[in-house]
Chains A and B, each alone.
Chain A
Amino acid sequence: MMRKPVDTGDPDRLYTVTGGRSRADESFDLVTLIVSESGPVPGMQSEHARILELCRHPTAVVEIAAEIGLPITVVRILLGDLLDTGRITARHPRAARSVASLPDSALLQEVLHGLRNL
């Protein structure tokens, strides 16, 4: 499948944030949980530092995007940088990713149990 080029909205700010890149790592799901493996270091791009701060505890991709006020695509690009340099790990969802197939009944049973106990 061909990757979709992305217009990151506010061109000046977002061009700077991503260094002009537009191809995001689509393996980061909205609910992939990100965990920092190290703290920010001096001289690091501020958005990278911000993500490492946020992800001291597991934090979903969509929460990172909301917290730092950037579109999902831009966050996926930034996370790709941090993953490549070993500064984060990613806990991907285990639910089936193919649209038509359901997760197994055991997982759904756990979800039901969790909801009933709220």
Chain B
Amino acid sequence: MGSATSELPSHRTPLNDAAETGLKIVVVGGFGVGKTTLVRSVSEIRPLNTEEVMTQAGVGVDETSAVAGKTTTTVAFDFGRISLNERMVLYLFGAPGQERFWFLWDRLFSGTLGAVVLVDTRRMDDSWYAIDRLEHHRTPFVVAVNRFDDDTSRYSLDEIRQALALPGHVPMVDCDARVRQSGKDVLITLVNHLHEMAIAEEATL
């Protein structure tokens, strides 16, 4: 199949043979907000692209009745990979925030550790929908503000928190998606948050 990746099989970096546990983190956000850039800056492989398809008319409908007049939803997303240790490998997905994508959320991202909502302050409206959907799916998330050079507004994190009506417990962080250390910090902020939540939950058992 004509993808550049399959023409270069020798360039694949295989996982450690002891790898046994795959983990997921999803980066969501509007068009051009820097999702692919963030994935690329922290990934050990060049980001790969793949897609999933489903028949919208087919949701909860049996196969025979879905044959006529069905509409197909195709969602493309990219991903990168981070080997955490010999056994654990983290996959980072860059997912478009638009509506049709959420049809596939459960099928693709159930069991995800958590999400990063990437925000561009010049187009804050794009983030509303993603935040609303994540809350609906009860996926823990952090908000990372990707500061573009030509963004002159320089809203503070507090101002952005207010604009997005984000509850106080949702961590916020500034980032430059092009910078590896900055991308790592975003992921660490998210996992720290998850860890604190897990500790609190375990304390109530």
Q: Which of A's residues lie within 8 Å of B, judged by CB? A: 2, 4-9, 22, 26, 29-33, 54, 56-60, 62-63, 65-73, 91, 93-100, 102-105, 108-116, 118
Contact = CB atoms under 8 A, between A and B. Distances in A.
A9 to B, nearest CB: 5
Interface string B1-44: 11101100100101111011111100000000000000000100
Nearest to A106: B198
Interface residues on B, range: 35 or more
A104 B198 contact: yes
Contact of B88 (A30, A68, A102, A114): A114
B159 interface: no
A68 B6 contact: yes
A6 B55 contact: yes
Q: Give chain B's interface secondary structure class.
A: mixed
B72 A9 contact: yes
Contact of A97 (B111, B192, B198): B111
Contacts of B68: none
7 contacts: A29-B22, A30-B24, A54-B12, A71-B74, A91-B19, A105-B195, A108-B194
A105 B198 contact: yes
